[in-house]
């Protein structure tokens, strides 16, 4: 916002309350009512205002208090934002960011707990990023704001309060990450584990446990769901010959399914020594009970079991 006066943020409670999750803390005091705008509880309305502002040359950051509420505005996100550049034969850019917490939180029930990674990455015209740690959050959000096209930034409520070590490079105010490039979080030679958002944490914890048994897993943090960095996955699988995907979303038509399809359609398929295994959320609406909620999400033992099955370890 300091760099470009065309950037502004709008959404529910983003200004005077400093954001429902305090993500926009201090921005209202610094930039005032014109650039930090509290909206009524009307996602369809304020998403439409944001898309119109983007078409007119501004760079809005449209916050959904949770991405579950973006379903109220999905017509604006898909039909108004994602398709306009194509439908205008490249004459109208829509440089907008839709951001907010995505996926399962804790104890908030079925209507507030789903992952929209597969939903939005299905749609041409959108770019979709899914940050895991502090480096991802800073670098990808800055890239999203500077991008000339609509970008969906799927954050995670459970990661908001978690601190991660960062390098001096990340702390530099010019630090930005490319959209569409995955990161190898942990090198390995026996199996590849691909994940995004909070599932990267699950994958890394599983990899640590597997290392104690002599299995070196390579963990890939996708960072970007559309465009998906297929090349990084292909290179890793050609080295390890085994693949497990991990995500909190539902299994049908998920991110893991897309990765499976891309491997099948590429020569990398012939490098596989065993079938690919998907570790996903359970195919049910999220239960409210704490024990059932845990059972509905991928846990470290689920990933370890999947790796053992793929590698034929008993």
* Residues known to be catalytic: 43, 112
3-state secondary structure of 193: strand
| Whole-number Å distance between alpha carbons of 11 and 32 | 14
The contacts of residue 110 (CB under 8 Å, 6+ apart) are 285, 286, 287, 288
Q: Specify whether the CB–CB gap between 228 and 265 falls below 8 A.
A: no
| Whole-number Å distance between alpha carbons of 127 and 67 | 15
Q: Are β-strands 224-226 and 127-129 bridged in parallel, bridged antiparallel, or unpaired?
A: antiparallel
Characterise 90 by phi-psi region: left (phi > 0), alpha (psi -120 to 50), beta (else).
left
| Whole-number Å distance between alpha carbons of 86 and 115 | 27
Q: Specify whether the CB–CB gap between 191 and 159 falls below 8 A.
A: no
């Amino acid at each position: 916002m300091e760099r470009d006066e065309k950037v502004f943020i709008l959404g529910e409670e983003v200004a005077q309350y400093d954001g429902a999750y305090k993500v926009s803390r201090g921005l209202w005091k610094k930039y005032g009512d014109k650039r930090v705008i509290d909206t009524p509880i009307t996602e369809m309305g304020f998403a439409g205002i944001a898309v119109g502002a983007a078409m007119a040359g501004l760079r809005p950051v449209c916050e959904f208090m949770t991405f579950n509420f973006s379903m109220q505005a999905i017509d604006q996100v898909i039909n108004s934002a994602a398709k306009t550049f194509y439908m205008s034969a490249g004459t109208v850019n829509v440089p907008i960011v839709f951001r907010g917490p995505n996926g399962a939180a804790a104890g908030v029930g079925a209507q507030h707990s789903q992952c929209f990674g597969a939903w939005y990455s299905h749609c041409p015209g959108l770019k979709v990023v899914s940050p895991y740690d502090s480096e991802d959050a800073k670098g990808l959000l800055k890239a999203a704001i500077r991008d000339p096209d609509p970008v969906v930034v799927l954050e995670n409520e459970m990661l908001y309060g978690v601190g991660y070590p960062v390098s001096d490079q990340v702390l530099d105010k010019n630090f930005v990450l490319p959209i569409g490039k995955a990161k190898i979080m942990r090198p390995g030679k026996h199996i590849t584990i691909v994940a995004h958002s909070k599932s990267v944490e699950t994958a890394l914890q599983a990899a640590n446990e597997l290392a104690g048994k002599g299995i070196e897993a390579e963990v890939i943090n996708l960072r970007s769901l559309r465009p998906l960095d297929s090349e990084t996955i292909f290179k890793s699988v050609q080295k390890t010959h085994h693949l497990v995907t991990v995500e909190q979303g539902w299994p049908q038509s998920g991110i893991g399914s897309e990765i499976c399809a891309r491997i099948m359609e590429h020569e990398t398929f012939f490098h596989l020594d065993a079938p690919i295994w998907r570790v996903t959320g359970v195919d049910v609406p999220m239960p409210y009970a704490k024990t059932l909620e845990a059972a509905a999400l991928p846990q470290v033992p689920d990933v370890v079991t999947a790796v053992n099955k793929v590698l034929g370890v008993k």
